[in-house]
Amino acid sequence: MWESLIISVLIGLAIVVPCRLLRVLSTSGMLTAWAFGSSVVFWGGLAWAVPLLTAFVTASLWSKVLPGRDARAKRDSCRTMTQVLANGSCAWACVGWWALSGDPLAYAGFVAAFAVLAADTWATEWGRLSSTPPRHILTGRTLVRGESGGVSLIGTIASAAGAATVAASAGIVLALQGRAAEWWWLAGIALTGLAGSLLDSVLGATLQARFTCPSCGTITEDSRHCGVSATPRSGWHWLGNDLVNLTSIVLATAGWVLLLACCR
Ligand SMILES: [Zn+2]
């Protein structure tokens, strides 16, 4: 018990410290990810750690290597505690559910939560490479690049690929452990990931807050710009990007888990 706890904490540390050094995580993000990663390894083991790492490593990789961001934005793309919690707490809840009950649905939810995360980050990073501007997911209106709620062809393809990659990583690690997953289970995970990413775009297009900077006039998703408080413009002023991410992950994952619960 104590041995495996100490090993889990050390494995967690071995993952998050390089991430901090590569500026993928801020200090608060590193500490949160350390607690999360260690508990995943401790209660779940390899079958749980692999989809987590697949989603996290690919998201970080694309944000660092793909063109389309300036050097400063690349350097500052490290994730804070709030972002780690927004993207990880649904999966974390699944780990707790598993630790308490041993219900296999907890694992299905955990992998699906990371499929949504990968679908979302792959879409954002690859969508930047689109030669045509993104379009509003509901109205089709042309949007400014980087504005929430926009979709592009390359972004949507990347989104499906990201979700499928996380599903495949779980399929491979389960097969290596002699517990081959059903094809429909893997397809369901991938579809949940894509659905969650589209839901994120719908929320971003409709309810997410937009602000106008009183200093430079830019329309932004951040409540502060140019060092001053920006004026609310549209959407729910308290619904920022992190909360939109959390909501879309939770809703997509819950839908998938409920579907599985009804079918068994
Ligand atoms: Zn400004």
**Cα distances (Å, whole numbers) of residue 99 to 149, 177, 190:** 36, 20, 25
Query: What distance in angstroms lies between residue 220's CA and the mean position of ligand 1's atoms?
Result: 8
Contact in structure between 159 and 120 (CB atoms under 8 Å): yes
Q: Are 208 and 246 in contact (CB under 8 A)?
A: no
In 63-187 the beta strands, taken as DSSP E runs, fall at 135-136, 150-151
pLDDT at 76 over 60: no
pLDDT at residue 181, as a whole number: 87
Q: Which of 72, 36, 76, 74 is nearest to 56 (CA)?
A: 36
Q: How far is the CA of 235 from the centre of ligand 1 (A)?
A: 19
Provide the pLDDT confidence category of residue 241 given band limits of 50, 70 and 90: confident
pLDDT at res. 23: 82
pLDDT at 105 over 70: yes
The confidence band for 167, taking pLDDT boundaries of 50, 70 and 90, is very high
Q: Read off the pLDDT of residues 48-67 as tens digits, 9 standing for 90 and up.
A: 999 999 998 898 888 888 87
pLDDT for position 73? 60
Instruction: Compute the Cα dihedral for 199, 237, 155, 109 and give only its sign.
Output: negative
Predicted confidence at residue 68, as pLDDT, reads: 67
Estimate to the nearest angstrom the gap between the alpha carbon of 142 and the chain centroid.
Answer: 25
What is the predicted pLDDT for the residue at 193? 97
Q: How many helices (H) and strands (E) does the chain have?
A: 9, 7
* 110 touches 96 (CB < 8 A): no
The single residue listed with the structure tokens 């499906």 is: 160
Ramachandran category for residue 59: left, alpha or beta (phi over 0 → left; psi -120 to 50 → alpha): alpha
Which range of 20-24, 159-163, 236-240 scores highest in mean pLDDT? It is 159-163
214 C-alpha vs ligand 1 centroid, how far in Å?
Answer: 7
Ligand 1: distance of its center to the CA of 210 in Å?
A: 13
Q: What is the dihedral of CA 43, 242, 26, 10, to 10 degrees?
A: 0
**Average pLDDT for 234-251:** 92
> Over 60: is that where the pLDDT of 146 sits?
yes
Q: What pLDDT sits at residue 219?
A: 81
Mean pLDDT computed over 245-261: 96
Please give the distance, rounded to the nearest whole angstrom, from the Cα atom of residue 222 to the centre of ligand 1.
10
If you measure from the C-alpha of residue 218 to the centroid of ligand 1, how many angstroms do you get, rounded to a whole number?
Answer: 6
The angle at the Cα of 191, spanning 170 to 165, to the nearest 5 degrees, equals 35
Q: Which domain holds residue 114?
A: 2-263
Instruction: Please list the alpha-helical segments (H only) found in 79-152.
Output: 81-101, 104-127
- What is the 228 CA–ligand 1 centroid distance (Å)? 8
Amino acid at 243: L
User: What does the pLDDT read at residue 2?
Assistant: 86
d(CA 258, CA 72): 42
Main-chain phi, psi angles of 215, to 5 degrees: -85, -50
User: What separation in Å is there between the alpha carbon of 262 and the centre of ligand 1?
Assistant: 50
Q: What is the dihedral sign for C-alpha 38, 42, 45, 48?
A: negative
pTM: 0.91
Domain count, the chain: 1
Mean of all residue pLDDT scores within the chain: 90
Ligand 1 center from residue 229 Cα (angstroms): 9
CA of 221 to the centre of ligand 1 (A): 11
Ligand 1 center from residue 240 Cα (angstroms): 17
CA of 117 to the centre of ligand 1 (A): 29
Q: Is the predicted pLDDT of residue 75 greater than 60, yes or no? A: no
CA distance 36 to 85: 9
Calculate how far, in angstroms, residue 14's C-alpha sits from the geometric centre of ligand 1: 39
| Distance from residue 217's CA to the centre of ligand 1 (Å) | 6
Residue with tokens 């590193």: 30
User: Distance from the CA of 81 to the center of ligand 1, in angstroms?
Assistant: 25
CA distance 262 to 50: 27
| Predicted confidence (pLDDT) per residue in 179-236, tens digit | 888 999 999 999 999 999 999 999 998 999 988 889 888 888 888 888 888 888 888 9
Rounded to an integer, the average pLDDT of 169-178 is 94
Q: Is the pLDDT of residue 72 over 70?
A: no
Residue 71 has pLDDT above 70, yes or no: no
Average pLDDT (118-140) is 90
Distance from Cα 172 to the centre of ligand 1, integer Å = 47
- Per-residue confidence at 74, pLDDT binned at 50, 70, 90? low
Gap from CA of 61 to ligand 1 centroid (Å): 29
Residue 136 Cα, ligand 1 centroid: separation in angstroms? 23
What is the end-to-end Cα distance of the chain in Å, rounded?
33
The tokens describing 134, both together, are: 């993104």
Tokens of 82: 């709030």
pLDDT of residue 40: 92
**Spacing, Cα 226 to ligand 1 middle (Å):** 4
